[in-house]
Structure 1
Amino acid sequence: MDIYSNPISGILIIKKTEGGAHRVALASDFGNKLIDFTISDTDFKVNYVVPDLDRKIVINFLKNDFRRLLKKQYPVSQAFENPQSRIYLSQSGREKYYLFFDKETEMLRQIIYTEKDREKIDFSFGAKKHIFADSIQLQHRDYKISIRLFQITETE
């Protein structure tokens, strides 16, 4: 993660729990827990946070970003196409999500989250299979915040 040019790296663990919630924990490269929270569509609970990250703005960004990232359903109201993608619009109040599916692989490639017709967050996905992303990048358009997630792979 880069938060206002301050890099934070480590291991992110996301576990689906009962009732559709997710437990999210970020540990440093050395194994120290940095933040641990439980999130669902309606609830958010911080289980632990290191003092350096215990800022309301940081917690709110993580809460909102992971709530959007872990969103399960996008009711489609419109569909579009361009030469590379099938694009679906999902709208809920002032929030709009544009979902880009690659025409060739039929996999989700990108989600653009907008508010009041302004792009706010770009979620980009790299995947080889339909069920799991190998990489995810979140880029905020209004703030100097980006999150890059990569799957841990075994090397032989």
Structure 2
Amino acid sequence: MFDAPVETWYTWLGLAVASVAMLGAATTFPATATPDAAGVADTVDGVAASEYPATAEHPLAAEAIRVGPHRLSLRNDAGTTHASFVFGPVTPVAPGSRLETVLHGVPPGEAFDSRRAFTQALIEARTEESTWQTVDRTLVVRRAEWGESDATLVGA
């Protein structure tokens, strides 16, 4: 009795506006999920907690990563996520550095001239400002030691 007849123009106009609004809302949803920063941090903590030299890899579903001594951040189209390390500080490894060769399996004694140079490289890497790096492969984590210097190296 109080319904509008389907033939009226304002009913069709209201349905059209509602349809456009629903379509607009549906297209704003991200196509992918946010990256799993907590899972990546768990992988890093697993290596860092080891009593022995260890290596692990974690695939990254992100476009960019930022690794600091105490936390990491992952970013993709869906957003940015952050996670902290329980066993830190870790040593972020910059691409092209001598620490990157150690990260990928070269013993520290072959990559560096002395223990002091290795220790200094670790200190410098931990104190540098962390920046976003594009991701094109998996995250690599390695616990390396040389004498009294040991570190958890993290790089992508």
Under a length normalisation based on structure 1, what TM-score does the superposition of the two structures give?
0.24
Whose strand fraction is larger, Structure 1's or Structure 2's? Answer: 1
Under a length normalisation based on structure 2, what TM-score does the superposition of the two structures give?
0.24
Bigger relative contact order (CA 8 A; separation at least 6)? 2
Whose helix fraction is larger, Structure 1's or Structure 2's? Answer: 2
Larger radius of gyration: 2
